[in-house]
Structure 1
Amino acid sequence: MSATEQATQRETADRSPVSADLLGQLIAFDTTSRNSNLDMLDFLTALFREAGIEPWLTFDAERRKANLFATLPAADGTETGGIVLSGHTDVVPVDGQAWDSDPFVMTQRDGRLYGRGTADMKGFIAACMSRLPRMKQGTLLKPFHFAFSFDEEIGCLGAPLMIDEMVRRGLRPDGCLVGEPTSMNVVVAHKGINLYRCRLHGRAAHSSMPHLGVNTIEYAARIICFIRDMADSMKADGPFDSCFDTPYSTAQTGTIAGGVATNVVPDACEFQFEIRNIPQVEVGAVYRRISDYVERAIKPAMKGEWEGADVALEQISNAPGLNADEAAMMTRLARALTRDTDIRKVAYGTEGGQFQNAGVPAIICGPGSISQAHRANEYVEIDQILRCEDFLNRLIGSVEA
């Protein structure tokens, strides 16, 4: 532990986070991605209204989930510009995990707050909400925006709806702070995460006469091996970015389903694969190598056995990579407030790249460690929440008269 970290721990040893009770209330909402998040948004909306702020929502197609966006204007009433505080409301499942306590009841022990979402990332949301009184008491020269999205954990599906509406309303923030867990260090880049589905349609037959059928599992295996060979090539030949723990783009197949019995030629198979590209790599070019292979080699071979055979590729989700500009206001401000000048890049994705693509420079900095996310007994250290609250106070002070 560095001398600075030791000093910070001494300073915060006798303090309790203002946002701890609020975090406990947020943890109690089971916002696992398969569930609705509307009850949690109702709770947050009530807090905003108490502060005189009226949020707006953008819904999914079934209106079971929503994003929440709220703006605290500058002292002169200006709503455009300013800083976005961005986080996601959904959490990953606890199914099959061995927890020592109820994951949806926040538990404090040994200087830590345990519960699903404490680190990823309701701790940041609670810290932001707890700063509302601090924001209201000052004289803001620029507005603050709160952007809380749904379905980040399954591909950042909700944030684009919210960002599109933000742009439509002409808000045009100057920068975005994404509060994913970084141990309150500044992260300036992350990989793009792109998820795809491949469906193969063949013809069933008795396995004693395979020439009468089209075996979709075997053809799926050829595509999967091609994806693996391509991944091996990227690992060996790059391009590389040494700032990432895995310094090259990756691709892998994650799920596969097909077939009904060992003595039946399978007429259907489906698998999903992902590409995680470093910012320097255009993911479309990587995907085209796969789709070209399917069109050139796989489809003709399948149709040669039976004209009705087919292969369909589709993109399920796209969370573009983030590559922050060191000269951008948001990057310079975050570095000044944290005194952190190190270059950090991560393999996980966030909505930061989506804000960046909409013209809003973004960085990542939030409480807790990503190593605790998605695990049983997920926790955030109390010191991390205190550091986040202090950072947000300095951030507010940076735009006060």
Structure 2
Amino acid sequence: MPDARRLSTIDILERLVSFDTTSCESNLPLIDWISGYLTAHGVPFRLSHDPTGLKANLHATIGPGLAGGIALSGHVDTVPVDGQRWNSDPFALRLADGRAYARGACDMKGFVASCLAAVPDIVAMDLRRPLHLFVSYDEEVDCGGARVLMEQARSDGSMPALCIVGEPSGMQPIVAHKGRLAVRVEVKGRPGHSSRPAEGVNAIHAAAEAIGWIGREAARLEREGRRVEGFLPAHSTIHVGLISGGTILNIIPEDASFEMEWRTVPGDDAFAELDRLRRHAAETIEPAMRHVSPEAGFRFLPLNELPPLAIEEDHPLVDLVRQCGGANATGKVGYGTEAGIFQQNGIASIVCGPGDIAQAHQPDEWIALDQLAACDRFVRRVADTLTRAA
């Protein structure tokens, strides 16, 4: 169990990356370590678990037990290392050439380590409003941890007013990101011998018709979709990433499936787009299928959804992050974060954290040490603003 000695960001990062918190694994050993560290520094916290009890969020609060304040938020689950060629153990921190290498070093245990290293300094501050620390699970899967965390904070009255999500942004304030809706589409046909196609319903052909519509929809969005400048691309997108079906060539395939996603700019509704696809299948593809087999047709199964993020450039939180980080410019990104969920729950949110998203999920994932140092300064400056809060 950690004692109350000061640990540097690198010291803490070394410990955090040593825990394999790939999203398919339990994160409880890491959460236990953080819990011991916070307890040693007299910081109260609450845990909230997933339905299995094998994963937990941690919500710590430093300062007065008042409403509002600022949350610093980071997830500690990571993507797998399977199939990647690393030059060193991905779960052992390696320092070289001004970089720290390990799975999760960039996305996003580096930010969490920086926040934890600042705890002794923040505890010593005379905070007028609370500083919250959110540590969540399953961001890389469906952001289920953030949703559970919000449920707990709402139920116990500990919702912050503002939130900074420390996803890697090069310490640039990110004021907007796209939303994401991932859907699995299952197609049921009717089997038969391939020499007598009229007696069966080819599930792959039906899936292909739907995928053709999706391709045309992608072109429509590129041509005439809503534009929000600052995103790349500036419009919402749609694509199919996985497809499967059939058994052997001389059997009409009874089953087919594919997985697809929308990435929507603020102002577009991915569920409304899903309804358009449902209507197209119901009106254009399914009638011919059900003429042969009443049981044939489509099922649409949403897998996960992330709401988009958008905060006004003149919001006080944007100004606070600019001042504390020393960055004048703001940005918009195409990837999603938990910030959209926090905003959806009434917390004004922004993204700003150390590292480059291009290094995330890669073999030999790394974060620059000067980025961690900049984050160390940033976290303490954010906390210091709470000593002057009204």
Give CA deviations for 1:94-151 in whole Å, capped at 9, x if unaligned.
1111111111111000000001111100000000011110111110111011111111
> Cα distance, 1:266 vs. partner?
1.1
Please show how residues 64-83 of structure 1 align to structure 2 within 5 Å.
Answer: 64-74=54-64, 78-83=65-70
Specify which of 356, 361, 364 is matched with residue 348 of structure 2.
361
Number of the residue aligned with 1:60: 50
Aligned to 1:148: 135
For 2:63, give the aligned amino acid: P
Matched residue of 2:167: which SS?
Answer: coil
Please say if residues 131 and 386 of structure 2, whose CA atoms lie closer than 8 Å, have aligned partners that are also in contact: no
The answer to whether the aligner puts 1:51 opposite 2:41 as a matched pair is: yes
| Residue 205 of structure 2: aligned partner | 218
Q: Structure 1: which 4+ aligned runs deviate by more than 3 Å?
A: none
Mapped to 1, the partners of 2:44 and 2:194 lie a distance apart of 64
The alignment status of 1:320 with 2:307, answered yes or no, reads yes
1:290 deviation in Å? 0.9
Q: Which residue matches 1:252?
A: 239
Q: Tell me if 1:271 matches 2:261.
A: no
Q: Which runs of 5+ in 1 are unaligned?
A: 1-16
Contact 1:181–1:367 (CA<8 Å) still a contact in 2? yes
Q: Distance in 1 between matches of 2:242 and 2:144?
A: 20
Give the conservation status (yes or no) of the 8 Å contact 1:249–1:277. Answer: yes
Aligned with residue 28 of structure 1, among 18, 24, 42: 18
**Structural mapping, 1:278-289, within 5 Å:** 278-289=265-276
Shift of 1:364: 0.5
Deviation of 1:192 (Å): 0.1
Q: Distance in 2 between matches of 1:207 and 1:195?
A: 33
Secondary structure of 2:144's counterpart equals coil
Q: Provide the rounded CA distance (Å) in 2 between the counterparts of 1:388 and 1:64.
A: 30
Contact 1:121 1:181 in 2 (8 A): yes
Match of 1:290 among 268, 277, 287: 277
In structure 1, the partner of 2:88 is: 101
Letter of the 1:238 partner, please give it.
G
Q: 1:342 aligns with which of 329, 334, 346?
A: 329
Deviations 1:207-264 (A, max 9, x none): 1222222111111111111111111110111211220121110011111121111111
Say which of 361, 371, 382 aligns to 1:374: 361
Q: Report Cα offsets for 1:38-95 as digits up to 9, x if no partner.
A: 1111111111211223322222222222222121232xxx242111111111111111
Partner of 1:113: 100
User: Alpha-carbon deviation of 1:326?
Assistant: 2.5
Deviation at residue 398 of structure 1 after TM alignment: 1.1
Letter in 2 for 1:336: Q
Report the RMSD for the aligned CA atoms in angstroms. Answer: 1.3
Which amino acid in structure 1 is aligned with residue 46 of structure 2?
A: W
TM-score by length of 1: 0.92
CA contact (8 A) 1:174 1:330 kept: no
Residue 43 of structure 2 aligns with an amino acid whose one-letter code is I
Contact 2:17 2:93 in 1 (8 A): yes
Q: Does 1:207 align with 2:171?
A: no
In the other structure, the counterpart of 1:308 is 295
Deviation at 1:198, TM superposition (A): 0.8
For 2:131 and 2:216, the matched residues in 1 are separated by 47
What's the TM-score once normalised by structure 2's chain length? 0.95
Secondary structure of the 2:180 match is strand
CA contact (8 A) 2:23 2:79 kept: yes
Task: Select 2:78's aligned residue among 88, 91, 97.
Answer: 91
**Amino acid in the other structure paired with 2:202:** N
CA distance in 2, matches of 1:64, 1:301: 47
2:3 aligns with: none
Contact kept? 1:72, 1:79, Cα under 8 Å: no
Q: Is the 8 A contact 1:174 1:329 kept in 2?
A: no
Code of the residue aligned with 1:384 in structure 2: it is Q
* Partner in structure 2 of residue 9 of structure 1: none
Which deviations, in whole Å up to 9, do the C-alpha atoms of 1:240-294 show, x marking residues without a partner? Answer: 1220121110011111121111111111112111000001212222222111112
Provide structure 2 residue ranges, at least 5 long, that are not aligned to the other structure. 1-6
1:168 aligns with 2:152: no
Sequence identity percentage: 38
Give the Cα–Cα distance (whole angstroms) in 1 for the partners of residues 109 and 25 of structure 2: 16
Which of 242, 263, 279 is the aligned partner of 2:229?
Answer: 242
Work out the CA distance in 1 between the residues paired with 2:370 and 2:69: 28
2:177 equivalent among 185, 190, 194? 190
Q: CA deviation at 1:299?
A: 2.1
Which residue does 1:11 correspond to in 2?
none
Q: Give, as a single letter, the amino acid of the residue that structure 2 aligns with 1:288.
A: D
May I ask how many residue pairs the two structures share in their alignment? 382
CA contact (8 A) 2:180 2:270 kept: no
Cα distance in 2 between the residues matched to 1:158 and 1:265: 42
The answer as to whether partners of 2:63 and 2:129 remain within 8 angstroms in 1 is yes
**Whole-angstrom CA distance in 2 between matches of 1:203 and 1:97:** 40
C-alpha distance in structure 1 between counterparts of 2:22 and 2:219, whole Å: 34
State the Cα deviation string for residues 326-382 of structure 1 (Å, max 9, x = none): 233322211122232323100000000110011100011100000101111110000
1:131 pairs, out of 103, 109, 118, with: 118
Give the Cα–Cα distance (whole angstroms) in 2 for the partners of residues 57 and 199 of structure 1. Answer: 37
CA contact (8 A) 2:63 2:123 kept: no
